Structure 1
Amino acid sequence: MITVAGFNTAIDRLYTLDALEPGAVQRAANVQAYPGGKGLHVAQTIAALGEPVQLVGLTDVFHRNLIARRMSERGVLFHGVEIAGELRHCLALRERDGRMTEVLDPGPLLPPRAQQQLLDTLWRCVEDTDAMVLSGSLPRGFEADTYAALLRQIAPRGLPCLVDASGEALRLAADAGAFLLKPNRDEAAQLAGRAVDTVEDAAVVARALHARGVAFPVITLGARGALGFDGADCWHASLAIAHSANAVGSGDCFLAGAAVALRRGGEPAQALRLGVACGAANALHEETGYVQRAQVDALLAEVRLVRFDG
């Protein structure tokens, strides 16, 4: 069983526009809404790949049935902590030419009781867990060191932990013993204090993160794939696709693929390979943060995986 801490559940809304014109009235050609949040995207992708998974996250009275039904349909065991307010809403605005603009709601401020309920629920799940994924932003009210503290508490159990965070939470997690840390290009640049424009730049950052105690640091590079360092070699995995319908959530699907490969006993390089296939499969479809297993399997054969010596 893989356990995902995706505390900051959201409702994702995808608006399709001819063109985004700031300051003007916008008329959407189509609007779609899904349960979302990075952790939820990770969990439903893990399930789509055929692995048992459970998700700990927020829910509310307005969306509890929607989320519970979707997670059940997708094969995810959902442990929801209900809050009195409303979940955050994340907007993705897609223009006719494919350009995407995201607007991310900060979400509700959680009282201490709700924070503790999330943590207690997560710890009840640990007993049945082979691997842990800490994914996405922390709800307001949590301290930035929450992921770092969880990593240190989980370490004695010998569970591999994969982390996808940003800002101060990412910086603190980088020094707390994560097995896999997955910043994207911009987040890696913030961590390193230098631009990450090339695969060579990503390799420098990955090696530096490994020196800080991350066993398998991975830098995702959007359409250019991902680079990881396993302590001996840097590996670069990439896959070109002809058209992207919605790349939002591809990083989450990447992390899910990497978690599944590692749980199945795959080498880090193979985790990169499955991760890239999952990220590409997500980009081919309208829904944010979800893949179809048959398509992942087909794309996997096309992923280019090379040892990178730069």
Structure 2
Amino acid sequence: MILTVTPNPSLDRTYEVPVLERGEVIRASGERMDPGGKGVNVSRAVAAAGRRTLAVLPLGGAPGALIAELLDAQGIEVAPVPVAGATRSNIALAEADGVLTKINAPGPELTPAEEESLLAAVRTHSADAHWIACCGSLPLGLAPSWYADVVARAHSGGARIALDTSGPALLQALGARPDVVKPNAEELSAAVGRRLVTVGDAVKAAEELRTMGARAVLASLGADGQLLVDGEGTWFGTAPVAAVRSNVGAGDSSLAGFLIAGGSGPEALASAVAHGAAAVQLPGSVMPTPADLDPASVTVTSDVPVDLVLTEPVS
């Protein structure tokens, strides 16, 4: 079972529009409403693959109640932690050319009692978990060290931790030695404090995160592919994508694919790449099912193209 922890979940509304024009009335060609938040998306992708998952998350107000209903309709077990504030609602505008504009609300501030209830829920449900995936930004009320505390507690109970966050929360958690961290190129660049121009730059940055405590780094490099750096070696994975429809949740789908396939080594990287490539070709934050995957199109190699210039260098 894969347990997910999403401290700041959301109700995600995605509108497909021909082109985004400021100050104009725009008629959407399609719309979706999905339960959101990075950990929630991981659970949705795991469930879409036919595997058991349980989502631990704070929920409040009408948006929180709707998230619980939507997850239940998708067959996902939920361990809700009631909070006084209303769960946030996010908006994504997906243009026909693949450009995505997101408006993310800050979310409610958690009280010390609500924080403790969230930690208690993780402890209660972690005994049966093969992996615990802690994902997303921290809401107001939780210190940047919160994920580090969760990682330490999980390891003391024998669980493995996958961490997908950024900024101070990521940096502070590295010292607790998460089993795998999953930054995108921008988050990887910010973590090491320098510009990434080539795949080789990304490899060096991932190696630095390992030096800082991460046992493995699964890095999404956007259209250029994905990178896995761990104690056994370095691998680079790619897959062709006919057309990008929406990249909302694609990284979360990749992490789910990685964990489903065992969470280590080139086979898990291949699964991550297949899930990510399938997700970007689906609308909104729809998670791919096995029928959407094309594992035969995935290429994974230890001959990493370190001189390949990233399509979108980041700083």
**Category of TM-score, reference length = shorter chain:** over 0.9
The Cα of 1:64 is off from its aligned counterpart by 4.7
CA contact (8 A) 1:42 1:289 kept: no
Map of 2:47 onto structure 1:
47
- CA displacement, residues 204-246 of structure 1 (integer Å, 9 cap, x when unaligned): 1121222222221121101111101122321001111111111
Structure 2 counterpart SS, 1:66: helix
Q: Deviations over 1:110-131 (max 9, x none)?
A: 2222222111111101122221
Correspondence 1:173-188 to 2 at 5 A: 173-188=173-188
Which residue identity does 2:200 align to in structure 1? E
Q: Does 1:277 align with 2:284?
A: no
Structure 2: any 5+ residue segments left out of the alignment?
307-315
Offset of 1:132 from its aligned partner?
Answer: 0.8
Q: 1:64 to 1:207 in 2, by over 3 A?
A: closer
Residue 163 (structure 2) pairs with residue 163 (structure 1): yes
Shift of 1:69: 3.1
Q: Which residue is equivalent to 1:135?
A: 135
- Matching residue's letter, 1:300: P
The aligned residue for residue 303 of structure 2 is 308
In 2, are the aligned partners of 1:61 and 1:82 still within 8 Å (CA)?
A: no
SS at match of 1:191: helix
Identity of matched residues, %? 32
1:132-172 CA-partner distances (Å, limit 9, x unpaired): 11011112110011011111122223321100001110111
Query: Counterpart in 1 of 2:289?
Result: 292
What is the correspondence of 1:27-176 to structure 2 with a 5 Å cutoff?
27-176=27-176
Unpaired runs of at least 5, structure 1? none
Matched residue, 2:15: 15
User: Partners of 1:289 and 1:140 in 2: how far apart?
Assistant: 28
Q: State TM-score, norm by structure 1.
A: 0.93
Q: Paired residue for 1:202?
A: 202
Match of 1:260 in 2: 260
Q: Which amino acid aligns with 2:4?
A: V
Deviation larger for 60-69 or 277-286: 60-69
Is the CA contact 1:177–1:213 (under 8 Å) kept in the aligned structure 2?
yes
One-letter identity of the residue aligned with 2:189? A
What is the RMSD of the two structures over their aligned residues, measured on CA atoms? 1.7
Q: Which amino acid aligns with 1:141?
A: G
In 1, the alpha carbon distance for the partners of 2:100 and 2:67 equals 25
The answer to whether the Cα contact below 8 Å between 2:5 and 2:135 also exists between their aligned partners in 1 is: yes
Equivalent pairs, count: 305
* Superposed displacement of residue 78, structure 1: 0.4
* TM-score normalised to structure 2 length: 0.91
